[in-house]
Amino acid sequence: MLPLLRCVPRVLGSAVPSLRALHTEGDKAFVDFLKDEIEEERKIQKHKTLPKMSGGWELELNGTEAKLVRKVAGEKIIVTFNINNSIPPTFDGEEEPTQKQKVEEQEPELTSTPNFVVEVIKNDGKKALVLDCHYPEDEVGQEDEAESDIFSIREVSFQSSGESEWKDTNYTLNTDSLDWALYDHLMDFLADRGVDNTFADELVELSTALEHQEYISFLEDLKRFVKSQ
């Protein structure tokens, strides 16, 4: 009789073909699922082309990053955002709904609410006032308070124009401990340059359309990758 250890490779070797066949069937099922998923996503796609921003903003795209550019009275305003991780989680810590509830309740529409950075560059073009903004979860979709802002400023700093990242050596003002009068003036400063509630609403619509477009493109790439030999 052969030693036990010498028998093991022969047993494993005979099992390889069945594992390989199972993998192939799994890939086929995966591709079929992705095909159906892509068709469903295309059916519910709200915008076949990206919506336009009012106010003369020009859109520049680089993958998942979007840049909106506008010139006002010699100033250049640049708004940059990225759609990655821009959709808030749908769960809220409550008990999972029953199967009946899942059937009866329509799935909520996913909305992309990305953080965005506003750069205001004066004529000399050397220095930019940079404001890091976001959508507070309790403000998005609220229509009962027409006066409230749907976005907030988190940080303000001066940076060299054209820099892709903030320098830690430059002073950054956190608005959590900021005097409200100064904060209101900063919000008015943005509004005077076209970054107001209307802009923020349109940015959400644009970002949501772009995120959905990229999601469908990702599913198509995934299907091709799984299907390829």
pLDDT at 160: 85
Does residue 50 lie in a domain region? yes
Q: What is the pLDDT of residue 124?
A: 77
* Predicted pLDDT of residue 165: 73
Q: Which pTM does this prediction carry?
A: 0.80
Q: Is 97 within a domain?
A: no
Name the stretches of the chain with pLDDT < 50. 1-17, 19, 21-22, 103-104
Predicted confidence at residue 93, as pLDDT, reads 52
Which two tokens mark 43?
Answer: 């059916």
Q: Is residue 4 part of a domain?
A: no
Residue 104 lies in a domain: no
User: What is the domain-level CATH number for residue 50?
Assistant: 3.10.280.10
Domain count, the chain: 1
pLDDT of residue 105: 54
**Bridge partners of residue 20, in order along the sequence:** none
For residue 19, tell me if it sits in a domain: no
Residue 187 structural domain: 25-86+110-139+147-227
pLDDT value at residue 91:
59
Task: Report which DSSP code applies to 53.
Answer: P
Q: How many CB atoms lie within 10 A of CB 45?
A: 13
Domain membership of residue 118 (yes or no) is yes
Backbone angles phi, psi at 194, to 5 degrees: 90, 5
**Residue 20 belongs to some domain of the structure:** no
In a domain, 167, yes or no: yes
Q: What is the DSSP string of 152-189?
A: EEEEEEEEETT-SS--TTS-EEEGGG--HHHHHHHHHH
